[in-house]
Structure 1
């Protein structure tokens, strides 16, 4: 029987032992080996204590052999697991430009389905809906040895291939076919899903989709090819389906954990996800108010090398907000809990970094350290620069328990 455990990132521990909600030492070793192969070497996903461990920095799902762990962010203020999953899906949707709106089908399944199953269900429903209208066909160029002339004869290849053969001609021709790159991508996403889900209804949906795509080949494609697929007027109805297929193929990792042991995962670094989510909303708010928000701005440097007079130590604040091309605010996101006057809440190095931003961006008036709100609203620190009474470094929080609250909080931070 597959063991399933759901925990909140950085807040809940998994205990080492035997039982449905515990992990054995062997399982923990398998988990560590798998993570070493699937996340960057300079990143850390586990915080291991005596007889327990927790996930830090990463959310998503990981499955190895007979156990599956789902890690969700601590977002809702009422410890609502269902709400946390909803908001995670919304964050992924906004950051990946895919349609993962919480409709009735997702809302009714969110408690009994894991992250992969929810996304797969949305993808398969969208795919089947479009395939029922008809498979997409396109002209595909083929080159092969055939018995009759079709298209044009490739003379150089014909001579090379058929020097000692009679009755065949090497031709290049266009064939109107559903075995095209778009449908191949859809099929690859279905195949990847099929071996990753346990739900019978979901497996049957996947098999139905594969049956409709029966004439389509399933050769693997590189991430670059998948990323560069473009739609036109003939196939734009598949736009949302394609974004979901890309999301599944590019994020669903499938690696050997150790020896013959197999695992798969869909993990997201929360620092990056939080930064991208806030960046998307700030850009939307600025666009509505004739302002401009630049993410990962690289225009300024900290120092100049005296030997070659070249700029050194590029500063890259998360978000720079401009009015008429003049920067007036910087927002830097930090995914961690913050409490007023608590030394453990914010690192001194973060304040030094904000000070560097304030000095490098001469016209900026406010530099904001932005944290997620995980409790009641409080008054957070605000510092004025010693040599400039018009520049401030401030700590702010933003609610993530609903998209509306996030937008409202950011609007107040930017415009109040």
Structure 2
């Protein structure tokens, strides 16, 4: 599926819920022919702005031998080395420092990308020059995916969120292709699991952003199977959870949207295109297990990304809760304004 690079960037910005921050960097997406180079450039521009404003600092405990007492005196170490005889002592005190985890990850990413042979020399040179501007006190770090879960951002350093999201994605791809000279993003758009997650998060945040919050509730909602144990109530524990990708609830409608990232929305069967059976079963299960709709029109929507053909099918169950079922596509190979318009028309 050949999605234009600029649209991939929008998908990422929405999925990370960082659209304004991404647009503020004013990167010409059309100047790049691959996602890796584009993300490196966005990272470079964003970090340049960050360095101009000043990197985030936090208090870090330091221990040092000093003749000017400050903070807490470390008596065991001072007595052991008899520092008092030299009118000095080991002390522990809090000092404002740039050596915090989010700065370490940024610096480590720049250091790695500046040596990445699959990036063009111009971008690598720009990354190298920015790297020289990081304070030397920021210590090296071994980057693993779990490290990103330890980052603590707040209102005063929220400008790091987009940059660290890029860093995390870059490292996930780099660590999965550690052979030198292998392009880490060559198969990014072919990674079905990665792109399925990206498409789902994009849709969720898109509707959160564009639907009127006073009229719509947008969330990933958990439903309960309408199954009651026949013999033992404890058997309920064996029933799996039912997590919707996106639930859209208004005064009169209860929509359940299931995002599917497949090469094709339909599957050939006996020389005829058919809706993918398992997908239809899944969205049907969602609609039939909504019990708290309160008279709202229940609708299940299967939505697929496309780059050429369009599809819009609608069906109605004539039994049960009279739910509507829609199967539709959104063309990601068009101007972004048209993509926005098409997505809003679906609901």
TM-score, scaled relative to structure 2: 0.78
- 1:279 equivalenced with 2:204 (yes/no): yes
Matches within 5 A, 1:15-26: none
CA distance in 2, matches of 1:128, 1:372: 34
| Cα contact 1:331–1:370 (8 A) shared by 2 | yes
- Report the Cα distance in structure 1 between the residues aligned to 2:286 and 2:30, rounded to whole angstroms: 46
Distance in structure 1 (CA, Å) of the matches to 2:312 and 2:133: 58
- Output one character per residue of 1:239-274: Cα deviation in whole Å (capped at 9) or x when no partner: 43452134213542334869x867573546221111
Cα pair distance change 1:106/1:154, threshold 3 Å:
same
2:187 is equivalent to residue 265 of structure 1: no
C-alpha distance in 2, partners of 1:134/1:348? 54
Conservation of the 8 A alpha-carbon contact between 2:176 and 2:184? no
Question: How far is 1:291 from its partner?
Answer: 1.0
Superposed displacement of residue 360, structure 1: 0.5
Tell me if structure 2 keeps the 8 A contact 1:302–1:313.
Answer: no
Rate the CA distance shift 1:302–1:170 in 2: closer, same or farther, 3 A.
farther
Q: d(CA) in 2 for partners of 1:406 and 1:376?
A: 14
Q: Indicate how the Cα distance of structure 1 residues 389 and 125 shifts in structure 2: closer, same or farther if over 3 A, else same.
A: closer
Residues 307 and 405 of structure 1: CA distance in aligned 2, closer, same or farther (over 3 Å): farther
Indicate the structure with greater strand content: 1
SS of residue paired to 2:240:
strand
Unaligned runs of 5+ residues in structure 1 are 1-72, 76-83
Secondary structure of residue in 1 paired with 2:218: strand
Distance 1:153 1:246, change over 3 A: farther
CA contact (8 A) 1:302 1:356 kept: no
Q: CA deviation at 1:94?
A: 0.9
Structure 1 residue 333: Cα displacement: 1.4
Match of 1:397 in 2: 329
Q: Deviations 1:120-172 (Å, cap 9, x if unpaired)? A: 1121122223324545554432123445533220224545x537997563210
Contact 1:150 1:173 in 2 (8 A): yes
Give the aligned partner of residue 242 of structure 2. Answer: 315
Contact 1:302 1:314 in 2 (8 A): no
The 3 A distance-change label for structure 1 pair 263 and 395 is same
The 1:394/1:341 distance shift into structure 2, 3 A limit, reads farther
**Alpha-carbon spacing, 1:256–1:402, altered in 2? closer, same or farther (3 Å):** closer
Residues 299, 178 of structure 1: CA spacing in aligned structure 2 closer, same or farther, 3 A cutoff?
Answer: same
Deviation larger for 245-254 or 268-277: 245-254
Q: 1:141 to 1:319 in 2, by over 3 A?
A: same
Give the 3 Å change call, closer, same or farther, for CA 192–392 of structure 1 in structure 2: same
Q: Does 1:358 align with 2:287?
A: yes
Structure 2 match to 1:240: 159
1:100 counterpart = 2:19: no
Unpaired stretches in structure 2, ≥5 consecutive residues = none
Residue number in structure 2 paired with 1:109? 31
Residues 28-84 of structure 1: per-residue CA shift (max 9 Å, x gap): xxxxxxxxxxxxxxxxxxxxxxxxxxxxxxxxxxxxxxxxxxxxx434xxxxxxxx1
| Most deviating of 272-281 and 311-320 | 311-320
Other-structure match for 1:56: none
Distance in 1 separating the partners of 2:111 and 2:101 = 15
| 8 Å CA contact retained: 2:223, 2:286 | no
C-alpha displacement of 1:177 = 3.5
Runs of 4+ residues deviating >6 angstroms: 163-166
2:125 to 204, 210, 215: 204
The alignment partner of 2:153 has SS state of: coil
Equivalent residue for 1:301? Answer: 225
Task: Write out aligned runs for 1:21-36 (5 A).
Answer: none
Q: Partner residue of 1:194? A: 114
**Stretch of structure 1 that moved more, 216-225 or 364-373:** 216-225
**Does structure 1 conserve the Cα–Cα contact (< 8 Å) formed by 2:63 and 2:92?**
yes
Pairwise CA distance, 1:87: 0.4
How has the CA–CA distance of structure 1 residues 344 and 164 changed in structure 2, closer, same or farther, with 3 Å as cutoff? farther
Matches of 1:249 and 1:391 in 2, distance apart? 41
Q: Does 1:387 align with 2:311?
A: no
Quote the residue 1:411 is aligned against: 344
Q: For 1:211-246, what per-residue CA distance to the aligned partner results, in whole angstroms no more than 9, with x for missing partners?
A: 22142222336655544332454xx4xx43452134
Distance in 2 (alpha carbons) for counterparts of 1:256 and 1:371: 27
CA distance in 1: counterparts of 2:176 and 2:217, whole angstroms: 45
Answering whether residue 22 of structure 2 is matched by residue 89 of structure 1, we say no
